Amino acid sequence: MDKWVLYSKTGNPASDIAKAWLKNNGIPSENYSIFQIKREQIDILADLLPSGAKDLVYPNTFSFSMINPQKKTEKEYIHKIHSGELTEEEIRDILATFPALVISPIITDYKTVLVGYDLEKMVSTFRYVKVKDISMA
């Protein structure tokens, strides 16, 4: 049985749906708050993504503000990250300092990573994953 980790944020509808989907489909996962993500985990995830750590960040300040309306300080980094002003190492450091910038949910087994809620990718990824007996759940 594969071990999957879900990094999510309470109150984020996409995170809540992903968590429910994993449970309803018998996919065993450990659930963590996105605010618990550490630099080492960011490094592993970023190394799996085509554009590195940039792929972990909200694409714009509008989408960030919709999920994080109370966060003001972090917004200034989104443009810097996506404009190419920062190095990969600087982006990873910023994400470790401000984990609210990381899109949630993130589902990973540290070999594969899914960023954000995408039903088609989830179905495709978990098509051949051994699941627990959901009749026992």
pLDDT, one tens digit per residue, over 23-80 is 999 999 999 999 999 999 999 999 999 999 999 999 998 888 888 888 888 888 999 9
How far apart are alpha carbons 69 and 56 in whole angstroms? 19
Say yes or no to pLDDT of 92 above 70.
Answer: yes
What is the rounded CA–CA span in Å between residue 57 and residue 82?
9
d(CA 43, CA 119) in angstroms, rounded, equals: 25
- DSSP character for 111? S
According to the model, what pLDDT value does residue 72 have?
A: 83
What the chain holds in terms of domains, given with CATH numbers, is 1-37+104-137 (3.40.30.10), 53-101 (no CATH)
When pLDDT is averaged across residues 5-26 and rounded to a whole number, the result is 93
Average pLDDT over residues 113-134: 82
